[in-house]
Chain A
């Protein structure tokens, strides 16, 4: 079963638009949610992360919106640029017990110039 689900395998937006990538999870014990960005031939790079005590985390053009009751979150990329074209992974972990990340299957974002 998929504990972390990213609803879209791919997403295409135009330059300047806001890209919205969605993620949902099943385990109520998850309390830490990082997003990773991966370019071809590279390892995933940590982009931004949120803890479940917050409902929003912003870093420049990147914002996470978190809904604990609905068990979902989204990554908003404002003013998308062609250089943002990459695969984005949502991940989740529980701070209690053995600490390890569960990854979603990724969303491939393409930003058209």
Chain B
């Protein structure tokens, strides 16, 4: 079985740009999560979908971050406009039932 696939692996953006990160969950998983990982803040939940419905939108991340799940096998995370403080690793994870999520390799974003 393929794991969680994230593209691109690396992204470099200028301040103010719009970037879109992509995620394909494990087939058959109905939970999908977007996390941001930094050394200072650790792993922070951005969004959580269950069966394509948004369950958690990450509170503090609402204004410039928008996650969507267009179908059960594809999700995007849009950051608009980007700021240097958004530089981090963005992780997508998926799960089935009450099992621990499986993570993708992540997208490392650098905002100049």
Q: How far is the CB of A28 from chain B (nearest CB, A)?
A: 18
In the complex, the answer to whether B33 meets A89 with C-beta atoms within 8 Å is no
In the complex, the answer to whether B45 meets A46 with C-beta atoms within 8 Å is no
In the complex, the answer to whether B43 meets A98 with C-beta atoms within 8 Å is no
In the complex, the answer to whether B48 meets A32 with C-beta atoms within 8 Å is no
* B window 64-108: CB within 8 A of A: 91, 93, 98, 100-106
A103 within 8 A of B: yes
Q: What string of 1s and 0s marks CB contacts (under 8 Å) between B39-72 and chain A?
A: 0001101001010000110000000000000000
Q: What string of 1s and 0s marks CB contacts (under 8 Å) between A87-113 and chain B?
A: 001010101001111011110000000
**Cα distance, A101 to B33, chains bound together (Å):** 10
B24 within 8 A of A: no
> Contacts A43-B91, A89-B43, A99-B31 given: A34-B98 contact, CB under 8 Å?
no
B residues at A contact (CB < 8 Å): 4, 31, 33, 42-43, 45, 48, 50, 55-56, 91, 93, 98, 100-106
Q: Which residues of A contact B43 (CB under 8 A)?
A: 44, 89, 103
**Total number of A-B contacts with CB less than 8 angstroms?**
47
In the complex, the answer to whether B42 meets A106 with C-beta atoms within 8 Å is yes
**Cα distance, A99 to B100, chains bound together (Å):** 10
A2 nearest in chain B by CB position: B42
In the complex, the answer to whether B48 meets A98 with C-beta atoms within 8 Å is yes
In the complex, the answer to whether A43 meets B55 with C-beta atoms within 8 Å is no
Which one, A43, A95, A103, contacts B42 given CB within 8 A? Answer: A103
> Contacts A44-B91, A105-B42 given: A99-B103 contact, CB under 8 Å?
no
In the complex, the answer to whether A101 meets B101 with C-beta atoms within 8 Å is yes
> Contacts A43-B91, A44-B91, A89-B43 given: A101-B100 contact, CB under 8 Å?
yes
Q: How far is the CB of B7 from chain A (nearest CB, A)?
A: 13
**Cα distance, A21 to B98, chains bound together (Å):** 24
Task: Give 22 CB contacts A-B under 8 Å.
Answer: A32-B100, A36-B100, A42-B105, A43-B104, A43-B105, A45-B103, A46-B100, A49-B100, A89-B43, A91-B100, A95-B98, A98-B48, A98-B56, A99-B50, A100-B33, A100-B48, A101-B100, A101-B101, A103-B42, A103-B43, A104-B42, A105-B42
